[in-house]
Amino acid sequence: MTLPRPSRLLQNALFFIAAAALSIGSQAQISSQKTVVTTEQVRAELMAHAPQGVAPGQPVWLGLQIRHQPEWHTYWKNSGDSGLPTQLEWTLPPGVLAGDIAWPLPHKIALGKLVNYGYEGTLLLPVPLTITPDFKPSLLNPDLTVKLKASWLVCRKECIPEEGEFTLSVPVKGSTALNGAAFDAALAAQPQALAAAKGSQLRIDGRTLQLTLHGLPARLQGQTLEVFPETAEIVNPSAPWQQAWQGAVWTATLPLAEARSASPTVLPLVLTHKNAGWRVELPVTGEWPKTAAPAALSPALQAALQANAQIPAAPAASLGFLAALLGALLGGLILNLMPCVFPVLAIKVLSFTRHADDHRGHRISGLAYTAGVVASFVLLGLLLLGLRAAGESLGWGFQLQNPAVVAALAALFTLIGLNLAGVFEFGQFAPSSLAAFQARHPVLDAFLTGVLAVAVASPCTAPFMGASLGLAVTLPALQALLIFATIGLGLALPYLLASFVPAFARALPKPGAWMDALRKLLAFPMFGTVAWLVWVLGHQSGVDGAGALLALLVVFSAVIWSLTLTGRSRFVIATILIAAGAWLTWAIGPFALKTQTTAEAPAAGERWQAWAPGRVEELVAAQQTVFVDFTAAWCVTCQYNKQTTLADPSVLAELEAKKVTLLRADWTRRDPAITAALAQLGRNGVPVYVFYQQGRAPIVLSEILSVQEVRAALAQL
């Protein structure tokens, strides 16, 4: 029996969709286990070792193996003068518990005058699992499935925060002896427990710890030992210390850190000699000296500065609340001049031209737009404050550090641009009841336009906003949210005032054919915004990510066009394009959403170097003057300053004459280290420009940078 032609077309389309779905399902099954993450600096692999299978009472180990490229290193649980230890977050089935990392013996790594504790070469961080009787494998999942989210800081002279997500299925029956040798070597590298023999003590003497230890192996007598406190910021890693043997008794004098973070009653220590190590816990006797006031800069930089240097509090600390509100209002007003806001304002101008004689409607629309802007700023402020309170390192503009948000905004602006260009009308797709609702309630449209304005405008920090936002995150929640709301009021104020001034609407030409031309003209700022967002995503996900997003936007546009067709052609073409778009999203979508783990390294011979944690301290300690540009690809002000003031020949010549080292901190992607550095300066967003010099407080310049301001700051150095 021959099928009618429409049914055959439908059958073919459904077959194509089903085949694509089966392909996706099989690929998901194949890639359900992800055990390796590779970057330019390390190869990280999740490994397991269960020699007798997974059962209560049997030894089961998981471990993250990190293979470092030559000259790169990661950090121990106490990282020393700088750095961050590797963090492991496990997701395990019920009845399975993860223990602490069994840290292998560290070694000292010198970076200039700084001393860190960490690892080079190949490292395995073992973690013991406890299998309780509550663990019940199922028929659908007979294995032990574990997930790991790991983050580590890998450094050479520069430091790069990296992370990876891993999934591994461990057979419940049988063994994973393949990794036995690696786990045996890692466990053999653990420090041996050393009982504190009678007479051992750890005593506070002024600004030092006096360590006396009995009971060490006899073969160590006369040998030089290394000592590593497990608690960070107790002992100064880079300060010289003394050790001596008195027969079988080993003594050491350890200098205390200038900015001590704790005053423990018991201090665990790891002692090493060659490839052997011992761990001992000693009670601390004596009275801890008073800790220094919290530093505006890191402890390493404090130690490097002259002892009598007076470093003032962060700039935001001296900013009064009323001044912060005024700065927030002015900053919001100036946001209207930012190119990233122009496309949204174009939508509001178009609404004026359509309803020039409806004064009451203008006023209501202005109030709704203002409400959308203010509510969105308050919501962003709530989200920022809440996530920071939960321990997340976020700053203002954090939404554009997420490739998924950037891609979604690019799709939204593409949709708006196609609508303005006349490719489709929203009424073609919406049910008649929804279209009637939109016609009766344009207030909702104005409100959502305000929301869209905040989504693209908030990262564009303007003058006066930096200090206000920096202060906001340190204030009580209600005062902080009032600052965020004031920024929103400043952004919405010009349109709000225009909506209440009838003369503004009367000044516009009478409705006519020119309105259609204006509408289509305003589509191009939308497409320009799409180009900017694709460029931003390229900095986050690389050229492959930008290319993938462009391809998806083309298919998305084709799907929108196909839905405007009529009859059989709409059904056939739209079905094929939607199926092709679904397959393409699966195939190349991950390229657009991934985040590169490495920052772009400056080319050889460039004036600018990449900023890294500890780099400023190292250079200042070496008596060099440092200028840091905290920037991001999505920050329009940053790009303007980079192409004008920071590229000015006279400025570059003076910087070179003063032998200033230029560092660039790229905050395009989320970077907790840069977020923390901005917080130390009392700032919460970019751009920020800072001069550092030994013995002097950091000099923070204004956001809109001028040649005269930079030259004036250089004259003071």
Of residues 519 and 38, more confidence is placed in 38
pLDDT in tens, 327-376: 778 777 776 766 556 566 666 566 655 555 556 766 787 788 888 888 88
Q: Which pLDDT score, from 0 to 100, does residue 436 have?
A: 44
Mean pLDDT of the chain: 76
In the chain, the largest separation of any two C-alpha atoms, in whole Å, equals 102
- Domain 201-294 fold: Immunoglobulin-like (2.60.40)
Q: What is the mean pLDDT of residues 257-265?
A: 77
Angle at 61 (CA atoms; ends 137, 37), nearest 5 degrees: 95
HSE, CB side, 13 Å, CA atoms: give it for residue 540: 32
Cis amide bond preceding 6, omega within 30 = no
- Quick one: pLDDT band at residue 104, thresholds 50, 70, 90? very high
pLDDT in tens, 385-440: 665 555 444 445 555 666 777 788 788 778 878 877 888 775 555 454 444 444 45
What is the location of CATH 2.60.40.1250 in the chain? 36-189
One-letter amino acid identity for 348? K
- Domain 36-189 fold: Immunoglobulin-like (2.60.40)
Total Cβ atoms within 10 A of residue 99: 12
Total Cβ atoms within 10 A of residue 654: 17
pLDDT in tens, 555-580: 989 988 888 888 888 888 889 988 98
Give me the count of residues in the chain: 717
What is the location of CATH 3.40.30.10 in the chain? 608-716
CATH code of the domain made up of 608-716: 3.40.30.10
pLDDT in tens, 479-511: 778 877 888 888 888 878 877 776 666 666 565
CA-atom Rg of the chain in angstroms = 31
The model's pTM? 0.43
